[in-house]
Structure 1
Amino acid sequence: MGRKAAFPASPLLADLRELILQARWQVARTVNSGLILLYWHIGTRIRRDLLKEKRAEYGEKIVQAVAAQLAVEFGRGYSRRNLFQMVRFAEVFLDPKIVQAVPAQLSWTHLVEIIRLDDPLKRDFYIEMCRVERWSTRTLEKKIGSMLFERTALSKKPAKLAEMELKQLREQDKLTPDLVFRDPYFLDFLRLKNTYAEKDMEAAILREMEAFILELGVGFAFLERQKRVSVDGVDHYLDLLFYHRNLQRLVAVELKLEDFKPGDKGQMELYLGWLNRYERREGEESPIGLILCAGKRHETVELLNLERSGIQVSSYWTEALPRVEMERKLHEAVTLARARLNLKGP
């Protein structure tokens, strides 16, 4: 009887597993990139050869016939609907070099969601956020549905500045607070009804912390509630303290049931100064603050120049609005913010 083979040493087994998993990932990445480029070429050919004439109805009939033949040989992935998605892909990304530069983290299903957007800046934003935060297609769909782009400070900037910030993110992986913070935040999942106190909101956030962090965005890690801040023998209490891995800094969060008031700035500056002195670790950036309030007056916020203090003021909605009303409100906010920036000038 032969002797039993000795069980391989754990470091060896771990190394072999790593080699196999890495090879699988590389193969999947290569296949994904190849398929995306293939779909672009198919869309380009159909657009050029079949839909170049203005007789759209005639072109659609031919695409229908082509789809039927391709589906028989290659499967349902080449249905009429999918072929027109490939055409749209080719229309949105005219240059094959741009297609080849699409991040490996994005699958074809990601791109199908993104090419539905008409605004190039918005498309770039979602492509980069998918890459950085590694969103699934379902998450991307939810983020677009919740109008995430319109809720960032980036959307309120002039197009050229926004493009520069996205380019910086693409080339240097540098995430800025303007890409991280939202305004407003949707807190309908807290199920707060009628009248409630700050402690009720805080308790609801702690109860629904996973959902709250999903709304805050990827990278936030919860550290403490009611963080004690002792200054000159007087105790103050910060509502919530987080750490953001990508920004590499502490994030202080204060909850306000009323509209933002100028005095809220001084309170947050005190917390940030204390955190910077006593809690900030080597290699971290300066702490920043988020004041979540029921509402805010734009001129008050502008005059206080909160950005210099590292403070973001955002409103929150505790009830979900109908889609049409939400779109109207957010588009209004973006338009007004851009108009105010234009008035201020360079």
Structure 2
Amino acid sequence: MKAQESHSTLYQDIYNLVQQARVHVAQSANKTLTLLYWQIGSRINKELPKGARATYGKQIVSQLATQLQEQFGKRGFQERNIRRMMQFALLFPDSEIVSRAATQLSWSHFIELISVKDELQREFYVTLAINQHWGRDTLRNSIDSMLYERSLISGKPDKHIKKELAGMRAGETFSPDVIFKSPYFLDFTGLKGMYSEKSLEDSLLISLEQFIMELGIGFAFVERQKRMIIDGEDFYLDLLFYHRTLQRLIAIELKLGKFKAAYKGQMELYLRWLDKNEKQQGEETPLGLILCAEGGHEQIELLQLEQAGIKVAEYLTELPDKKILQQKLHNELALRKQMQQHENED
């Protein structure tokens, strides 16, 4: 019996060694391939002046693709992929940054990142993809759904955003403004036209997995209609979550219509009760998220909700045409930037 147990332990130890080696080989191969593609793109870019890339460059790239495929096979050396390598080297000019990122991001990740033309937005997506261990599909969905424009941190000054992202990469900080966003896309609920807060809550819980995906990585559901007894009265919080990275409870209230100033007092009461009665040792102070069909930007600014640990965000149960949505998000971002500027002036 002991011999069998000993052999089983031996096998398991060797199995683990093989698996670890396979992972290491795969990571090493991925990094090598990604750096190769960067070097190819960089070399071609040096050869071709900017003005020549549209005409003469097209012929050169086509000829290179044919020659490389004849020598090394079609995989990876199609003309389209070589052009991606060139874009890759242009958008990520620092080989050291590419080398560090390539240990955790695959070439398929970088293909998605090439579509992001703004440098700060690319830095945002690279940082989150590494920090949150995103797969390619999650990264693509985040870019397609304009996560950066919706994230609350996008309304901060560029210098502040860079500092927060650097802190995340160093493992020092993780800003709640990276986690929270506005608007939240709740089209998976199927709700249209008129509906009640209860219908919205029920729909979110029926599609809890999708709701958590929209909230973002790190959210864990705790309870619905959290009961709080205060001065002999019953109060009920719509939804209670816990965020593992932030290490704090997240209280969520669902509201139909436009944000009202009275919502602040209600959420503050809930947060203080949670802080006193539910917060565990080692956890941070709970945060509140008020989801409204429409924000009230001036009221939100005057109420200074940030200081109270309260976030206000809009939600959409029906998504408009993509161009209309993009314009809405750009307008929202400009408004958040303006509000932030007013706060800094004060």
TM-score clears 0.5 = yes
Question: What TM-score bracket applies, with the shorter chain setting the length?
Answer: over 0.9
Distance in 1 separating the partners of 2:324 and 2:122: 23
Deviates more, 1:269-278 or 1:16-25: 16-25
* Residue 21 of structure 1: aligned partner: 19
Q: CA deviation at 1:133?
A: 1.6
Partner deviation per Cα, 1:233-259 (whole Å, 9 max, x = no partner): 111011111110010111111100121
2:110 aligned with 1:111:
yes
Q: Give the aligned partner of residue 214 of structure 1.
A: 213
1:1-346 paired onto structure 2 within 5 Å: 6=4, 8=6, 10-51=8-49, 54=52, 56-75=54-73, 76-102=75-101, 104-346=103-345
Q: Deviations over 1:311-345 (max 9, x none)?
A: 10001001011110011010111112212333444
Q: 1:173: how far off?
A: 5.0
CA, structure 1 residues 244+12, in 2 after alignment: closer, same or farther (shift >3 Å)?
farther
Whole-Å Cα distance in 2 between the matches of residues 82 and 296 of structure 1? 44
Matched residue type, 1:156:
G
Q: CA 1:336/1:292 → structure 2, altered by over 3 Å: closer, same or farther?
A: same
* 1:114-148, Cα deviation, whole Å (9 max, x unpaired): 12211111001101111122111111111111100
TM-score, normalising length: structure 1: 0.95
Paired-residue identity, % = 48
Check conservation: 2:131, 2:169, Cα contact below 8 A. no
Q: Following the alignment from structure 2 to structure 1, what is the Cα–Cα distance between the partners of residues 91 and 192? A: 44
Deviations 1:148-193 (A, max 9, x none): 0000111111111111111111112522110000100000000012
| Amino acid in structure 1 at the alignment position of 2:40 | I
Unpaired runs of 5+ residues, structure 2, are none
TM-score under structure 2 length normalisation = 0.95
Over aligned residue pairs, what C-alpha RMSD do you find?
1.6
Structure 1 distance, partners of 2:308, 2:53, is 59
Distance 1:97 1:64 in 2: 29
The residue type equivalent to 1:33 in the other structure is K
How far did residue 9 of structure 1 move? Answer: 5.1
**Retained in 1: the 8 A contact 2:42–2:89?**
yes
- Count residues in correspondence: 342
Shift of 1:14: 3.6
Q: Which stretch of the first structure deviates more once superposed, 250-259 or 164-173?
A: 164-173
Deviations 1:66-93 (A, max 9, x none): 1011112222211110001000111111
**For residues 55 and 224 of structure 1, what CA distance do their matches in structure 2 show?**
58
